[in-house]
Amino acid sequence: MDARGTTVSPWDLPGIHLAPTPGAPPRPVVSWGDDKAPPTRHTPTPQRTLMARQFWLMKSEPYVYSIDDLERDGTTYWDGVRNYAARNLMRDKMRIGDRVLYYHSNARPPGVAGIAEVCRESYPDHTQFDPSSKYFDPKATDETPRWFMVDIRFIEKFAREVSLPEIRATSELADMVLVNRSRLSVQPVTEAEFEHIVGMAAAPSEEG
């Protein structure tokens, strides 16, 4: 899952969001410049950038950090992504106010569990500087960080999850990145795809 030292297609490397499990000891405090606040699970929402809202899908394993954990915490930082394509989307494209489909990966079945919103734009992922972290990157420095993250806040938990098999069986969603490049952990979504999945979550499942 770590791309260091290996030349591969960025679509072939799954970025994984690994947030601390409830009850885990706090992460070490990283030294930041005066213009960068240390990461916190409860981030005040800055003024939204005046741009058209964008839509995304972000994956998290439910046994690591689920939509219920996000609902409990209110906000979280999206650390541990070590996929260049996913990193670039967070670093260069995501803006405050963008909406996120919160996707439970490695579940049976996987699926979209709810909605979140970007509440802080990209800043360096502190785990790259922590030698005790599995995401430590010895090539990263404070002056030239290699990995970035955003903060998201809870918006809604769906009454039911919209499963990946349902999504794949829906013709209106045939062009989704999830269907065609499913391993990418942070993905763009069109507004039409976003709204269609929200509508599916509000309707009874055809899977029974």
18-to-13, 48, 60 alpha-carbon distances in Å:
15, 26, 7
Q: Which of 30-39, 51-60, 114-123 has the lowest mean pLDDT?
A: 30-39
Report which of residues 32 and 97 the model is more confident about. 97
Assigned fold of 55-202: ph1033 like fold (3.10.590)
Span 178-189, pLDDT tens digits: 999 878 999 999
pTM of the predicted model as reported, rounded to 2 decimal places: 0.76
Residue from 91, 115, 85 nearest 102 by CA: 115
Span 72-106, pLDDT tens digits: 999 999 999 999 999 999 999 999 999 999 999 99
Report which of residues 15 and 156 the model is more confident about. 156
Spans of all domains in the chain: 55-202
Report which of residues 193 and 50 the model is more confident about. 193
Residue 13: pLDDT band with limits 50, 70, 90: very low
Q: At CA 56, angle to CA 1 and CA 167, rounded to 5?
A: 85
Q: What is the C-alpha separation between 149 and 126, in angstroms, rounded?
A: 9
Residue 50: pLDDT band with limits 50, 70, 90: low
